[in-house]
Amino acid sequence: MRSPKTKNENFFEKVYAVVREIPFGRVTSYGAIASYLGSAQSARVVGWAMNSAPSDKKYVPAHRVANRNGLLTGKNHFGNMNTMKQLLENEGILVENDRIVDFKKYFWDPAEDFFYKNI
C-alpha cells in the first residue's frame, strides 16, 4: 500500500539518514545528497528538508552541509549567524568569509562511504 504521500516522507527521511552519516569533521553538499538519493535535480529539496530537520526526532548535523562551493548558505537558519561557523570550527574545519576552507579536502561523498562499506 503506497500512497503518494508515503513516497515523499521517505525522501525526507532518507535525507536525514544521509546527513546523520556524515562523519565528524567532514562536510558534504546538498547536491551530493540529492544525487545519491537518485534525484540529482532535487538539491533544492534537500535544503528544504534541512529546514524541517529540527522537527525530526533525531539530531541532524545540518551544519555539515554546505552548497557546492562550500559556502555556508544555511547559516542564517541557525540561532545565531556564527553558530554554523562555530560548529564547524569545533570539528576542526576552518571557515573564512562564510566559506569552508579546503572544501574539497573535507568533502564527504555518500557514495564514497557506500564504496568503502562494501570492500
Partner DNA sequence: ACTCTGACGAACC
Partner DNA sequence: TGGTTCGCCAGAG
15 touches 82 (CB < 8 A): no
The least distance separating DNA from the CB of residue 16, rounded to whole angstroms, comes to: 11
DSSP letters spanning 41-82: GGHHHHHHHHHTGGGSSS---GGGEE-TT-B-TTGGGSSSTT
Of 87 and 113, CB closest to DNA: 87
The site map against DNA for 41-80 (x = CB under 7 A) is xxxxxxxx-xxxxx-------x--x-xxx---xx-xxx--
Of 13 and 94, CB closest to DNA: 13
Considering only 27, 29, 88, 110, the residue that binds DNA (CB under 7 A) is 29
Distance CA 47, CA 49 (A): 5
Of 9 and 23, CB closest to DNA: 9
